[in-house]
């Protein structure tokens, strides 16, 4: 406990480094997954290859990928960029499938109605399909966010600074407080980011929480199914 | 790219594979750890998950537990346990089981829950006991998702078993960390490629098993009946979300 109090500045510093590695990866994964998922749904022949391909990426273990990337993109082994790219790949592997399924779940009736009242293809996608797929997309991003934050730590064994450095230092110098602080901060960080995502979801999708319309929507969905 | 060629060159030398510390021995160790950890996780989590799915009780706790396990950093858990148990296999095994068990658990309860309620009711109406419903209806029909859980767990274990060497155990991580400490990138990369290959092979083996099982009549049949497709997809989505 004393160790934690004595090292608060270092813990804060490492927390920021941790965020700098994980958040860009989450954003990249999310932004890239939408066009990929859209394309996979649009061109049916591509759907299975894209989904299986990205699924296979998820089977690649993180530490070996951190080591493989330098050979592919010419960075050094201790470059934080490897971690960001590797985590983006993992995030993408998870996110493409959920995005494809989320966009696919928008019923044809809705699409046809939107076209009938004059939406163009692009306009329909951004104003109708994307918002309707929103809740499922949010669920996907939440998973990616939490798992990215916990995965970053592994890169500490290669010497990349993050909360994971508290584990390697603590193990090397036999300081339990350091490891406990690292675990606690990682979990707290994951919880805070998750909570922020939920709040952002409520702000962007207020219709999800208006109680009067919810049962009606649910009923409409049942009838449609 | 030259790095990859050098690593492949190293992988093609006989020295890299032979001997007590060679890649063969380390690969077998790695697979051994994976099997043991997967076995322990299954023994703990399968009965629990099946019970949760069958009785529909305790689902909330299971979701919280699997979510918390996802947020838990592997390396932290590993080093923490290692400080108490010392160098060796205990710490990696504890970490591996803690990380893998939630996936098995989620797969088991999601699998049982994915079975069409009408099918379960029909089995009851025919006079099956709770145990018979579980073993003859819910487990066979829920098998695809139960296996998905085990598959995910196996992948997590293979990935994490690489870290076992960090706290003094064996496995392919040995070569990887050896390369790291001696600044020998081709050894590091070569070992990494073997781990990746191992993970992909195990994943493919599970994929093949699942595909073959789908052909067995009576397994997962009604789960694909009209109307239940979206439901099982939703359950699967929930499983990964948890």
Is residue B224 pLDDT above 90, yes or no? no
If pLDDT is split at 50, 70 and 90, which confidence band does B232 have? very low
Tell me how close the Cα of B8 comes to any Cα of chain A, in angstroms: 12
For residue range B66-107, list pLDDT tens digits in order.
Answer: 777 778 888 898 899 888 887 778 888 988 898 888 889 888
For residue range B144-200, list pLDDT tens digits in order.
Answer: 888 888 988 898 888 888 888 888 877 888 888 888 888 888 888 888 888 888 888
Alpha helical stretches, state H, B86-184? 90-114, 117-125, 130-132, 139-161, 173-181
Give the pair of three-digit tokens for residue A24. 């860009």
Q: What is the mean pLDDT of chain A?
A: 84
Q: Do A65 and B196 touch (CB under 8 A)?
A: yes
Q: How far from A125 is each of A13, A122, A138, B118, CA to CA, in Å?
A: 41, 5, 17, 37
Q: Is A167 on the interface with B (CB under 8 A)?
A: yes
Nearest to A29 by CA among A122, A146, A117, A172: A146
Question: What does the pLDDT read at residue A24?
Answer: 93
For residue range B29-73, list pLDDT tens digits in order.
Answer: 889 999 999 999 999 999 998 888 888 888 888 888 777 777 888
For residue range B2-37, list pLDDT tens digits in order.
Answer: 777 777 777 777 777 777 777 888 888 889 999 999
Question: What does the pLDDT read at residue B228?
Answer: 42
Answer yes or no: are the C-beta atoms of B132 and B193 closer than 8 Å. no
Question: What does the pLDDT read at residue A221?
Answer: 57
Cα angle: A106, vertex A108, A114; to 5 degrees:
90
Cα separation, A82 vs A174, in Å, equals: 29
Nearest to A221 by CA among B142, B234, B236: B234
Domains of chain A: 2-224 (1.10.3720.10)
Q: Is the predicted ipTM greater than 0.90, yes or no?
A: no
What is the pLDDT averaged over residues A37-57? Answer: 81
Cα separation, A189 vs B195, in Å, equals: 30
Question: What does the pLDDT read at residue B242?
Answer: 38
For residue range A125-183, list pLDDT tens digits in order.
Answer: 888 888 888 888 888 898 889 888 988 988 898 888 899 999 998 888 888 888 999 99
Question: What does the pLDDT read at residue A183?
Answer: 92
Domains of chain B: 2-241 (1.10.3720.10)
The shortest CB-CB distance from A68 to any of B78, B180, B192 is to: B192
For residue range A90-114, list pLDDT tens digits in order.
Answer: 888 888 888 888 888 888 888 888 8
Is residue A208 pLDDT above 80, yes or no? no
The shortest CB-CB distance from B189 to any of A71, A156, A180 is to: A71
Question: What does the pLDDT read at residue B185?
Answer: 80
Tell me how close the Cα of B130 comes to any Cα of chain A, in angstroms: 31
For residue range B109-154, list pLDDT tens digits in order.
Answer: 888 888 888 888 898 899 888 888 888 888 888 888 888 889 888 9
Contacts of B227 in chain A (CB under 8 A): 225
């Amino acid at each position: 406990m004393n160790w934690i109090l004595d090292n608060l500045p270092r813990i804060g510093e490492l927390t920021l480094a941790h965020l700098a590695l994980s958040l860009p990866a989450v954003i990249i994964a999310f932004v890239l997954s939408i066009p990929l998922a859209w394309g996979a749904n649009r061109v049916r022949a591509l759907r299975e290859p894209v989904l299986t391909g990205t699924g296979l990426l998820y089977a690649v273990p993180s530490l070996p990928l951190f080591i493989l990337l330098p050979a592919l993109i010419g960075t050094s082994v201790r470059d934080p960029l490897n971690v960001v790219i590797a985590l983006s790949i993992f995030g993408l592997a998870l996110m493409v499938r959920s995005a494809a399924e989320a966009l696919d779940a928008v019923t044809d009736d809705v699409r046809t109605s939107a076209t009938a009242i004059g939406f163009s293809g692009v306009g329909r996608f951004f104003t109708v399909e994307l918002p309707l797929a929103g809740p499922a997309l949010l669920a996907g991003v939440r998973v990616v966010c939490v798992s990215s934050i916990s995965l970053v730590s592994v890169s500490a064994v290669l010497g990349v600074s993050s909360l994971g450095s508290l584990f390697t230092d603590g193990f090397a110098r036999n300081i339990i407080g350091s490891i406990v602080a690292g675990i606690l901060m990682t979990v707290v960080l994951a919880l805070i980011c998750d909570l922020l995502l939920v709040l952002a979801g409520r702000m962007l999708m207020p219709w999800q929480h208006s109680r009067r319309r919810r049962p009606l929507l649910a009923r409409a969905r049942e009838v449609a199914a | 790219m030259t790095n990859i060629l050098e690593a492949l060159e190293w992988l093609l030398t006989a020295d890299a594979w032979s001997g007590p510390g060679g890649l063969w021995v380390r690969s077998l160790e790695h697979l051994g750890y994976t099997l043991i950890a997967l076995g322990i996780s299954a023994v703990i989590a399968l009965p629990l998950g099946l019970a949760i799915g069958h009785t529909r009780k305790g689902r909330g706790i299971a979701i919280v537990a699997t979510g918390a396990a996802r947020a838990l950093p592997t390396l932290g858990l590993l080093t923490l346990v290692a400080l108490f148990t010392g160098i060796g296999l205990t710490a990696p095994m504890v970490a591996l089981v803690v990380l893998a068990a939630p996936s098995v658990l989620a797969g088991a309860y999601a699998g049982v829950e994915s079975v069409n309620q009408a099918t379960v009711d029909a089995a009851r109406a025919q006079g099956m006991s709770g145990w018979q419903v579980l073993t003859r209806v819910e487990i066979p029909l829920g098998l695809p998702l139960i296996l998905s859980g085990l598959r995910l767990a196996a992948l997590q274990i293979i990935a994490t078993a690489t870290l076992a060497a960090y706290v003094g155990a064996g496995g392919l991580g040995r070569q990887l960390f050896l390369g790291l400490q001696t600044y020998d990138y081709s050894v590091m990369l070569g070992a990494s490629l073997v781990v990746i290959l191992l993970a992909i092979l195990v994943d493919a083996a599970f994929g093949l098993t699942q595909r073959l099982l789908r052909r067995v009549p009576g397994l997962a049949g009604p789960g694909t009946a009209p109307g239940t497709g979206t439901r099982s997809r939703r359950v699967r989505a929930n499983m990964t979300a948890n």
